Amino acid sequence: MIDTTPPVSTLPYPPLHADKKFVALSDWDGTITNRDSNDYMTDNLGFGPEKRRAGNLAILAGKETFRDAFKVMLDSVVANGHSWEECKEVLKKNIILDVGFRNFYDFCKSKDIPVVIISSGMAPLIRAVLSKLIGDDEAEKIEIIANDVEVREDGSWEIKYRHPSSGFGHDKSQAILPYRALPNPPTTFFFGDGVSGNIFDYSSRVRTVLTLSLPFLDMSAARHADLLFVKQKPGADNDLSAFCRREGIPHVQFEDFNRALDLVKRVVDGNITVKEALEVGTA
């Protein structure tokens, strides 16, 4: 019998922005940033890209859960003697923002549109990189719904999952579905690139495991966001877009946030509807 009970969160959620007309939600790694920070740590500080890819294949084959395999990847960084503070500094030096994200963020702030990051990574690490890139004050204002970290006195560390009972560590749909349940829900924009630790769909409160070309898709957002933006990366696999086409999920492809911003502006200003925006196809 399929368990339809949402996983219990060990971490609090921020209050819903029930009084807002629009809410912008986005994946972090590879969407707002130029590369996946956890992959970068594993490849350069941990056991390397070959073992990481092997772990990904094990997840795809159903031999490992994302939660367990991801922890093994991160634990390899700690096992190599890299402290939490060192990891933060390495990522602050090597991870950069999408070229248009700051413009997008400034626009949202000017229009009183909350920006919420929903990630399978660790919130303190995301906040540290954001502080380096956009400043401490602005970084503190952006809400981050992600996993946490436990840092020990000796500097070693371990991921603390938001949903430890879930095979994915963090079920992203639990940050999006409450907006759909509001009496007057805001229009939700979601930005994703397809690499995420969640392939559970809670549509109609039934958990369904989907067969996907890759195991890490932002499919909860694909199912539940009003206006879905899927990032296209030249020379990379664009699996979320392929998934959406296969499942008949309307979406807009974008290369960077500057291109997405123009379409978002038109929706926010009332020049086009969400339906018309989705018909554009590519920003």
pLDDT in tens, 140-192: 999 999 999 999 999 999 999 999 998 889 988 888 889 989 999 999 999 98
User: Where residue 210 falls among pLDDT bands split at 50, 70, 90?
Assistant: very low
**Per-residue model confidence as pLDDT tens digits over 252-270:** 889 999 999 999 999 999 9
Catalytic annotation on 29? yes
Q: Among the options 27, 39, 98, 226, which is catalytic?
A: 27
State yes or no: is 27 an active-site residue: yes
**Residue of 19, 29, 106, 256 marked active site:** 29
Q: How far apart are CA 171 and CA 217, in angstroms?
A: 12
Topology (CATH level 3) of domain 22-35+96-280 = Rossmann fold (3.40.50)
Domain ranges of the chain: 22-35+96-280
The pLDDT of residue 221 is 53
Residue 225 has pLDDT above 90, yes or no: no
